[in-house]
Amino acid sequence: MTGIGILSTGAYVPKQIVAGEDVAGPAGVTPEWIERKTQIVTRRYAAPDEATSDLAAHAGRQALERAGLTAADIRYLIVSTSTPDSPQPPTSYVVQSLLDADGAACFDVNVVCSGYVYALALARALVAQDPGTHALVIAADVYSRILDVHDRKTVVLLGDGAGAAVVGGVDTGGFLDVELSSHGHARSLIRVEAGGSRVPTTHDTVDDGGHLFRMDGRGVRDFVMANVPGAVSKLVERTGHILADVDHFVPHQANGVMLSELVTLSGLDHAHTHRTLERYGNTGSASAALALDDANTKGHLAQDDLVLLCAFGGGMSLGAALLRWTGTR
């Protein structure tokens, strides 16, 4: 093995399909407004008996099956989520139990929507220092539980889902480099204000909606446009490539209108941009994982194609990874 790459992918979305008309009324908008502003048509919501760990386990199990591995073959299990089952224990430990991955070292990553790329970067580093091992990376979020149905800035965008990848040694290709950055001064752009040690949960915080997801949409857009193109360009150039070499762009599925603008601003109009947001909406850290699995399972990624993953989210955080695709499913 000469590199570290993605051996397989997996995905899971809940069965409940939530159309624009289902969220438009309480938010004070129309389905037409939602599609025009976001290009999102439907999203998925978890069933009442489904938690983040359930979605994650489904996606992880599929990735393992496609890689021809069992849970016993996994040395590291990393779950990216900002909607954990509970504050403690880590959601990865629940997933470990569901998968019977008893030999794995587990931990959670919370970098909001950038978490999938951060988790892949961690998996790459762990496997590199422990040759012959495998890491299972799962990104899963259930945002439907923390949405304000009256807030049109958020409820029209977000849904639930999970995506997974098995990371291990590859003969050729794999990860070329990663680019991670954090911008804590902009942390107020995306937030859940109550429920932690600074603002503990009380009757008043619940009554005030302090445990619900909030976002400054315009501020997020400005941040993304100001920071993502430069980060992507720096990553690609550092590997000895130019943007024109990129075959596939797999971004965080934040908003369709913003995504189209970002592609052009980043100089990636020539690349095949993979999108699932029309069907699934913004699924937090799962969205880039779902988009990669969709591209992979549909056979759009060929051996040796240059694939650029890019995610951005609360914190604010940015994560990008460039890899030479290994042609695995």
Decide if 191 contacts 314 (C-beta within 8 A).
yes
> Phi/psi of residue 274, each to 5°?
-95, 130
The beta strand positions in 143-266, using DSSP E, are 160-170, 174-182, 190-192, 213-215, 248-251
Active site residues: 113, 252, 282
Question: CB 68: neighbour CB atoms within 10 A?
Answer: 11
> Phi/psi of residue 312, each to 5°?
-150, 145
Output Rg (C-alpha) for the chain, integer angstroms. 19
**Bond from prior residue into 89 cis (ω within 30 degrees of 0):** yes
In sequence order, the β-bridge partners of residue 43 are 18
Contacts by 102-105, CB closer than 8 A, 24 or more apart: 102/71, 102/72, 103/72, 103/74, 103/75, 104/71, 104/74, 104/75, 104/76, 104/77, 104/136, 105/75, 105/76, 105/77
Helix then strand then coil, % of the chain, to nearest 5: 40, 25, 35
Decide if 23 contacts 33 (C-beta within 8 A).
no
**Bond from prior residue into 258 cis (ω within 30 degrees of 0):** no
CA angle at 174 for the pair 178 and 244, rounded to the nearest 5°: 70
